[in-house]
Amino acid sequence: MSPKQAYDDIANRARRLLRLHDGLINTRKKGIRRDWKKAFCRFMRWRVTANIQRVDSADAMVVLRHDAGLEPSDFEADALDDMLRASLTFGVSALDRYVHEVVIKKIVNALKNGNLTKRQEEFCLPAVLAIRITEEVARARRDRKTVRPANAVRKKIQEVLHKKPFQSWREIQYAYELIGITNLDGQLQSAYGSADIKEQKAQLGRIVRKRNFIVHEGDLVRHERGGNVRKNPLARKFVEESLDFLDEFTNKLDCVQ
């Protein structure tokens, strides 16, 4: 699996959530006509007196029986905004996973380079992981198994790095410095064909901040004293534009050498 393949898989799931949001919003304002309900129940071989409710959206019709776990209110725009939140979260996760994959694939060879950056010099593994690496390599050799110490090191590095988020600009820059790339700004400027990437950094920051509000605070409005529980607004346009930005940003990152 390449870093881009990992990104595309998660990004496609983010787009699916966006489509589900769009396709499930209830537009029905009236109750079900009795003749339609009777004919539908007969078609389904349900009791004609069964209590059913109907949801009509732009792309689908959903019929809910009385014992269904869902209600028409679950298909209202306000309720389905959580699909927008999930879509945005998946989009940022796609970028995070992409950067992790890039670093994990390249870091061992990068650290073998004699001309290390400050970030590389400062990067370290916990002593307990280093001990485990030596034990695993020694055990494999005793058992006459083929062993590649670099792979053992890579796996332990993966354990450490997957505890770190690579989402904000500062975090992504740090990740690329670990593999010896210190001119990320310049390479992205060339990829974007721009004199600077201030706007891209700012937009990434806005997306990641919103993701953090969703993941860590349930996207609820903050109150200093009391107040009713209210969700922060989230425009569908912001989510779609964010996913578009993350697609383009990751494509530009994929050009970095």
User: Is the Cβ–Cβ distance between 7 and 250 less than 8 Å?
Assistant: yes
Q: Check whether residue 167 and residue 248 sit in a common domain.
A: yes
What was the pLDDT predicted at 186?
93
Share of the chain above pLDDT 90, in %: 58
Q: What is the mean pLDDT of the chain?
A: 89
Residue 254 has pLDDT above 90, yes or no: yes
Convert the pLDDT of each residue in 164-189 to its tens digit: 899 999 999 999 999 999 999 999 99
What was the pLDDT predicted at 226?
66
Q: Check whether residue 151 and residue 110 sit in a common domain.
A: yes
For residue 227, name the pLDDT band (cuts at 50, 70, 90).
confident
Q: Check whether residue 65 and residue 187 sit in a common domain.
A: no
Q: Check whether residue 147 and residue 59 sit in a common domain.
A: no
Q: Check whether residue 190 and residue 248 sit in a common domain.
A: yes
User: Is the Cβ–Cβ distance between 52 and 64 less than 8 Å?
Assistant: yes
User: Is the Cβ–Cβ distance between 250 and 212 less than 8 Å?
Assistant: no
* Residue where one domain finishes, among candidates 72, 96, 127: 72
What was the pLDDT predicted at 147?
63
What was the pLDDT predicted at 168?
95
Q: Check whether residue 54 and residue 121 sit in a common domain.
A: no
In angstroms, rounded to a whole number, what is the distance separating the alpha carbons of residues 135 and 155? 14
Over range 143-167, report the average pLDDT. Answer: 78
Helix (H) or strand (E) holding 52: strand 52-56
Q: Check whether residue 125 and residue 176 sit in a common domain.
A: yes
Q: Check whether residue 38 and residue 125 sit in a common domain.
A: no
Q: Check whether residue 139 and residue 247 sit in a common domain.
A: yes
* Residue pointed to by tokens 């930005």: 245
* Residue where one domain finishes, among candidates 72, 99, 127: 72
What was the pLDDT predicted at 101?
94
In angstroms, rounded to a whole number, what is the distance separating the alpha carbons of residues 64 and 44? 12
What was the pLDDT predicted at 149?
66
Residue 253 has pLDDT above 80, yes or no: yes
Helix H, strand E, coil C: the string for 9-48 is HHHHHHHHHHHHHHHHCCCCCCCCCHHHHHHHHHHHCCCC
Burial class (CB in 10 A: 0-12, 13-18, 19+), 237: exposed
Coil, helix or strand at residue 92: helix
DSSP code per residue over 125-141: --HHHHHHHHHHHHHHH
Coil, helix or strand at residue 160: helix
Q: Check whether residue 141 and residue 243 sit in a common domain.
A: yes
Residue 55 has pLDDT above 80, yes or no: yes
* Residue pointed to by tokens 């209830």: 26
Residue 148 has pLDDT above 70, yes or no: no
For residue 197, name the pLDDT band (cuts at 50, 70, 90).
very high
What was the pLDDT predicted at 167?
95
Range of the domain at 208: 3-25+76-253
The number of domains in the chain is: 2
Cα-Cα-Cα-Cα dihedral of 123, 128, 129, 130, to 10°? 70
What was the pLDDT predicted at 130?
67
What was the pLDDT predicted at 133?
67
Residue 124 has pLDDT above 80, yes or no: no
Residue 127 has pLDDT above 70, yes or no: no
Least confident of 6-20, 84-98, 141-155, 192-206: 141-155
The model's pTM: 0.87
Q: Check whether residue 192 and residue 234 sit in a common domain.
A: yes
Over range 226-242, report the average pLDDT. Answer: 90
User: Is the Cβ–Cβ distance between 63 and 54 less than 8 Å?
Assistant: yes
Over range 192-205, report the average pLDDT. Answer: 93
* Residue pointed to by tokens 């990437």: 197
What the block records as the tokens of 247 is 């697609």
Over range 141-157, report the average pLDDT. Answer: 72
Convert the pLDDT of each residue in 8-40 to its tens digit: 999 999 999 999 999 999 998 888 899 999 999
What was the pLDDT predicted at 40?
92
In angstroms, rounded to a whole number, what is the distance separating the alpha carbons of residues 21 and 81? 7
Distances (CA, A) of 2 to 8, 103, 205: 10, 12, 26
CB neighbour burial string for 34-50, b if at least 16 within 10 angstroms, e if fewer: eeebeebbeeeeeeeee
Distances (CA, A) of 82 to 75, 177, 239, 256: 11, 36, 11, 34
Q: Check whether residue 55 and residue 14 sit in a common domain.
A: no
Convert the pLDDT of each residue in 130-146 to its tens digit: 677 677 767 767 767 66
Give CA angle at 158 (154, 160), nearest 5°: 120
